[in-house]
Amino acid sequence: MTTKPDFLLFAQHGWSDNGNDMGKLAQAVGGDNSLVIAPSLGLLKTYWRIEPLVRAVEQLVKQNLQQYPEIPWRIIGHSMGGLIWLEVLQRNPQWWEKVNSLVVIGSPIGGSHIARIIDPLGIGIGMARDLGKNRRSIAEKIAQQIPTLCISGDINGGSDGMINLTTTQFNHSQLICLSGIPHATLKRHPRLIPIIQNFWANPQINSPQYANLATKIVQTLQGIPSMTDGDLRNFPKSQAKIKFSNGVALHTWKNSFGIDHVFVADEQGECVYAGYVGWLEAPQLQKVVGEILSWNE
């Protein structure tokens, strides 16, 4: 690029990937007025720990900041790439004012359920420990200051085949769910281009969802540090623990491995949230459920 760019467009790939697809997406959506920065962090390195990847992106940002100190940024992250950028921004709040917008695509903000299955005790089995971490509070803090778009896929009524739908969503972000697009395809699907461009045309910070009873229960459950967002499709297996007068209900279910799950259904009986905790955290979940049950007294 011979002329000064209007934006630095950082595009970050996720787990078991390189920067090729994200670079192509960024180039397609950013056009000629953006300098695309889409690094490959090393395929094997994506299997071990997120910390070295975060430091690598931080260093890349510092290099570009020295060269283009006045140019605003746009950020796109797919899957773990979105988590990497949440970590980068959390550690460097002095950079927030430079960020025009943040787009996360299929990122397990609330923690990957697959990672929790691989490393249920969080002892550090490869990247599973880092992918299973709940970063919703970090994401919501950032989204209150930086216009944020969350794009999710859904191929089976609750997930994109790898990431559960609810774990990608968080307050203050704009939410878009694309049906029929699996996780790996989401980062390169042409439907993303007009969606991101439309968001860029008018980036805004969303007000939090109105805290009705269902959302209040969901937020209370998500406040449990060890809570992992689960699969909505398991809702039919559950039994109602309590049904409030307006129809909102709290359901529970213990799977064949003895893992405690909890579900929230709205006034129409539709499941709006699923979550679970590990064996060691079950007493904490039971305590919170007991508190929720007392709301009906």
Strands ordered across the beta sheet of 260-265: 228-229, 271-277, 260-265, 249-254, 239-243
Write down the pLDDT at residue 91.
Answer: 98
User: What confidence tier does 2 reach under pLDDT thresholds 50, 70, 90?
Assistant: low
- Torsion, Cα 216 219 224 230, to 10 degrees, reads 110
pLDDT, one tens digit per residue, over 7-54 is 999 999 999 999 999 999 999 999 889 999 999 999 999 999 999 999
List the domain boundaries for the chain: 7-201, 213-296
Write down the pLDDT at residue 76.
Answer: 98
pLDDT at residue 208 greater than cutoff 90: no
Token readout for 27 is 């180039």
Write down the pLDDT at residue 123.
Answer: 83
- Cα–Cα distance for residue pair 135/142, rounded to 1 Å: 11
- Mean of pLDDT values over 124-130: 92
User: What confidence tier does 251 reach under pLDDT thresholds 50, 70, 90?
Assistant: very high
Token readout for 255 is 């799977």
Question: What is the phi/psi pair of residue 19, to 5°?
Answer: -85, 5
Question: What is the phi/psi pair of residue 42, to 5°?
Answer: 105, 115
User: What confidence tier does 209 reach under pLDDT thresholds 50, 70, 90?
Assistant: low
What sign has the CA pseudo-torsion 168, 174, 179, 182?
negative
Write down the pLDDT at residue 278.
Answer: 86
- Whether residue 224 contacts residue 288, with contact meaning beta carbons closer than 8 Å, is answered with yes
Write down the pLDDT at residue 122.
Answer: 76
pLDDT, averaged across the chain? 94
Write down the pLDDT at residue 120.
Answer: 78
User: What confidence tier does 297 reach under pLDDT thresholds 50, 70, 90?
Assistant: low
Write down the pLDDT at residue 223.
Answer: 86
Question: What is the phi/psi pair of residue 51, to 5°?
Answer: -55, -50
Question: What is the phi/psi pair of residue 3, to 5°?
Answer: -95, 160
- Mean of pLDDT values over 224-238: 91
Considering the chain, what percentage of its residues have pLDDT values greater than 70? Answer: 98
User: What confidence tier does 225 reach under pLDDT thresholds 50, 70, 90?
Assistant: confident
Q: Which of 140-149, 223-232, 263-272 bottoms out in mean pLDDT, i.e. has the lowest? A: 223-232
pLDDT, one tens digit per residue, over 66-121 is 999 999 999 999 999 999 999 999 999 999 999 999 999 999 999 998 998 888 77
- Cα–Cα distance for residue pair 273/46, rounded to 1 Å: 29
pLDDT at residue 58 greater than cutoff 80: yes
Q: Which CATH architecture has domain 7-201?
A: 3-Layer(aba) Sandwich (3.40)
